[in-house]
Amino acid sequence: MAISAETLLQLDRDHLWHPYSSISEPLTVYPVRSASGATLTLEDGRQLVDGMSSWWSAIHGYNVPEINIALQKQLEQFSHVMFGGLTHRPAVELGRRLLDLTPVSLQHIFLADSGSIAVEVALKMALQYWIARGEGNKNRIATIRGGYHGDTFATMALADPDNGMHTMFRQLLTEPLFIPRPGCRFGESWDPATMEPLQQLFEESGESIAALILEPVVQGAGGVYFYHPEFLSQARILCDRFDVLLIADEIATGFGRTGKLFGCDHASITPDILCLGKALTGGAMTLAATITTSLIAETISSHDDGTLMHGPTFMGNPLACSAANASIDLLLSSPWRSRVQKIESGLRRGLAPCSKLSAVEEVRVLGAIGVVEMREAVNMGRVQPLFVEHGVWIRPFGRLIYLMPPFIITVDELERLTTAVVEVVRTIEQSQPVTAA
Q: Give dist(CA 166, CA 173) in Å, integer.
A: 10
Catalytic residue among 50, 113, 129, 148: 148
Catalytic residue among 20, 73, 100, 304: 20
Q: Are 402 and 374 in contact (CB under 8 A)?
A: no
Q: Would you call 402 a catalytic residue per the annotation? A: no
Q: Give dist(CA 9, CA 7) in Å, integer.
A: 5
Catalytic residue among 138, 227, 278, 402: 278
Q: Would you call 148 a catalytic residue per the annotation? A: yes
Q: Give dist(CA 165, CA 271) in Å, integer.
A: 26
Q: Would you call 342 a catalytic residue per the annotation? A: no
Counting every residue written for the chain, the total comes to 437
Q: Would you call 249 a catalytic residue per the annotation? A: yes
Q: Are 43 and 299 in contact (CB under 8 A)?
A: no
Q: Cα–Cα–Cα angle for 324, 326, 332, nearest 5°?
A: 100
Q: Give dist(CA 184, CA 290) in Å, integer.
A: 29
User: SS3 sequence, the chain?
Assistant: CCCCHHHHHHHHHHHCCCCCCCCCCCCCCCCEEEEEECEEEECCCCEEEECCHHHHCCCCCECCHHHHHHHHHHHCCCCCCCCCCCCCHHHHHHHHHHHHHCCCCEEEEEEECCHHHHHHHHHHHHHHHHHHCCCCCCCEEEEECCCCCCCCHHHHCCCCCCCCCCHHHHHHCCCCEEECCCCCECCCCCCHHHHHHHHHHHHHHHHHEEEEEECCCEECCCCCEEECHHHHHHHHHHHHHCCCEEEEECCCCCCCCCCCCCHHHHCCCCCCEEEECHHHHCCCCCCEEEEEEHHHHHHHHCCCCCCCCCCCCCCCCHHHHHHHHHHHHHHHHCCHHHHHHHHHHHHHHHHHHHHHCCCEEEEEEECCEEEEEECCCCCHHHHHHHHHHCCEECCCECCEEEECCCCCCCHHHHHHHHHHHHHHHHHHHHHCCCCCC
Q: Give dist(CA 308, CA 316) in Å, integer.
A: 16
Catalytic residue among 50, 113, 160, 249: 249
As annotated, the active-site residues are 20, 148, 249, 278
